[in-house]
Structure 1
Amino acid sequence: MVETLNNTLSAISSVVWGPFVLIPLLLGTGVYLTIRLGGIQFRTLGRALRHAFFDTSERDNEAGAGDISNYQALTTALAATVGTGNIVGVATAISVGGPGALFWIWVTGLLGMASKYAEAYLGVRFRVTDEKGNQMGGPQIYLKRGIPGPVGSVLAFLFALFAFFASFGIGNLTQANSVAAGMEDTFGISPVLSGVLMFVGVGAVLLGGIQGIGRITSAFVPLMVVLYVVGGIVVLILLAEDIPAALATIFSDAFTGTAAGGGFLGSTIMLAVRYGVARGIFSNESGMGSAAIAAAAARTSHPARQALVSMTQTFIDTIIVVSITGLVIVTSGVWTQGEESAATMTADGFSAGLPGHWGGTIVSVSLIFFAFSTIIGWSYYGERALTSLVGQWASVPYRMLFTVIVFVGAISEIKLAWTFSDLANGLMALPNLIGLLLLSGLVARETREYLRFDPGLNKPAATVREFVDRQEMQWR
Structure 2
Amino acid sequence: MLQIIETINTAVNNFIWGVPAMVCIFGVGLYLSIRTGFLQIRKFPYAIRTTLGRIFRKRSASDGAITPFQAVCTALAATVGTGNIAGVAGAIAIGGPGAIFWMWVSALFGMCTKFAEVTLAVHFREINANGELVGGPMYYIKNGLGKKWNWLAYLFAAFGVLTVFGTGNATQVNTITTAINSALLNYNIISKSAVSTSNLIIGIVIAILIAMILLGGIKRIGQVTEKLVPFMALLYILLGLGVILLNIQNIPSVFVSIFKGAFQPSAVTGGIIGSMFLSIKKGVSRGIFSNEAGLGTGSIAHACADTKKPVKQGMFGIFEVFTDTIVICTLTALVILCSGVPITYGEAAGAELTILGFTSTYGNWVSIFTAVAMCCFAFSTALGWGLYGARCIEFLFSEKVIKPFMVVYALVAILGATANLGLMWNIAETFNGLMAIPNLIALFLLSGTVVRLTKEYFAGEGKEN
Give me the TM-score of the superposition, normalised by structure 2: 0.93
- 2:376 paired residue among 362, 369, 376: 369
Deviation at 1:347, TM superposition (A): 1.4
Correspondence 1:271 to 2:278: yes
Deviation at 1:257, TM superposition (A): 1.9
Deviation at 1:448, TM superposition (A): 1.1
Correspondence 1:388 to 2:387: no
**Alignment match, 1:398:** 405
**Alignment match, 1:464:** none
- Deviation track 1:186-211 (CA, whole Å, cap 9, x = no partner) reads 13470011011101111111121111
- 1:316 paired residue among 288, 310, 323: 323
Correspondence 1:239 to 2:247: yes
- Deviation track 1:7-48 (CA, whole Å, cap 9, x = no partner) reads 2111111110011x2111001111111111111112222322
**Alignment match, 1:13:** 13
**Alignment match, 1:467:** none
Deviation at 1:340, TM superposition (A): 4.2
- 1:123 paired residue among 121, 125, 135: 121
1:107, 1:76 → 2: CA distance?
25
**Alignment match, 2:90:** 92
Percent identical pairs in the alignment equals 39
Correspondence 1:201 to 2:198: no
User: Residue 58 of structure 1 contacts residue 70 of structure 1 at CA under 8 Å; is this kept in 2?
Assistant: no
Correspondence 1:154 to 2:142: no
1:341, 1:58 → 2: CA distance?
41
Deviation at 1:3, TM superposition (A): 2.2
CA, structure 1 residues 232+380, in 2 after alignment: closer, same or farther (shift >3 Å)? same
Deviation at 1:345, TM superposition (A): 1.2
**Alignment match, 2:3:** 3
Correspondence 1:220 to 2:247: no
User: Residue 135 of structure 1 contacts residue 297 of structure 1 at CA under 8 Å; is this kept in 2?
Assistant: yes
2:269, 2:124 → 1: CA distance?
53
1:260, 1:443 → 2: CA distance?
41
- Deviation track 1:64-100 (CA, whole Å, cap 9, x = no partner) reads 8860000000000010011111011101101111110
Deviation at 1:360, TM superposition (A): 3.4
Match runs of 1:293-442 below 5 Å: 293-334=300-341, 336-338=343-345, 339-354=347-362, 356-442=363-449
1:268, 1:223 → 2: CA distance?
39
Deviation at 1:341, TM superposition (A): 4.2
- Deviation track 1:263-296 (CA, whole Å, cap 9, x = no partner) reads x722310111000000000000001000110010
**Alignment match, 1:451:** 458
User: Residue 260 of structure 1 contacts residue 267 of structure 1 at CA under 8 Å; is this kept in 2?
Assistant: no
CA, structure 1 residues 176+57, in 2 after alignment: closer, same or farther (shift >3 Å)? closer
- 2:167 paired residue among 143, 167, 170: 170
Deviation at 1:131, TM superposition (A): 0.4
Deviation at 1:225, TM superposition (A): 0.5
My pick for the range that moved more, 442-451 or 333-342, is 333-342
User: Residue 63 of structure 2 contacts residue 131 of structure 2 at CA under 8 Å; is this kept in 1?
Assistant: no
**Alignment match, 1:139:** 137
CA RMSD between the two structures: 1.8
User: Residue 257 of structure 2 contacts residue 268 of structure 2 at CA under 8 Å; is this kept in 1?
Assistant: no
Q: Which amino acid is 1:227 matched to? A: L
User: Residue 96 of structure 2 contacts residue 269 of structure 2 at CA under 8 Å; is this kept in 1?
Assistant: no
Q: Which amino acid is 2:162 matched to? A: F
User: Residue 126 of structure 1 contacts residue 141 of structure 1 at CA under 8 Å; is this kept in 2?
Assistant: yes
Alignment length, in residue pairs? 452
Q: What 5-or-longer segments of structure 1 have no aligned partner?
A: 459-476
User: Residue 86 of structure 2 contacts residue 349 of structure 2 at CA under 8 Å; is this kept in 1?
Assistant: no
Deviation at 1:455, TM superposition (A): 4.3
Q: What 5-or-longer segments of structure 2 have no aligned partner?
A: 185-189
SS class of match (1:288)? coil
Q: Which amino acid is 2:18 matched to? A: G
Deviation at 1:336, TM superposition (A): 2.9
- Deviation track 1:344-392 (CA, whole Å, cap 9, x = no partner) reads 11112222322x2144333332221111110000000000000000111
**Alignment match, 2:109:** 111
1:171, 1:252 → 2: CA distance?
33
User: Residue 457 of structure 2 contacts residue 463 of structure 2 at CA under 8 Å; is this kept in 1?
Assistant: no
Q: Which amino acid is 1:367 matched to? A: M
User: Residue 140 of structure 1 contacts residue 156 of structure 1 at CA under 8 Å; is this kept in 2?
Assistant: yes
CA, structure 1 residues 260+71, in 2 after alignment: closer, same or farther (shift >3 Å)? closer
Q: Which amino acid is 2:361 matched to? A: G
2:6, 2:104 → 1: CA distance?
29
User: Residue 39 of structure 2 contacts residue 112 of structure 2 at CA under 8 Å; is this kept in 1?
Assistant: yes
My pick for the range that moved more, 433-442 or 406-415, is 406-415
User: Residue 76 of structure 1 contacts residue 213 of structure 1 at CA under 8 Å; is this kept in 2?
Assistant: yes
User: Residue 261 of structure 2 contacts residue 267 of structure 2 at CA under 8 Å; is this kept in 1?
Assistant: no
Correspondence 1:255 to 2:254: no
Correspondence 1:181 to 2:188: no
SS class of match (2:227)? helix
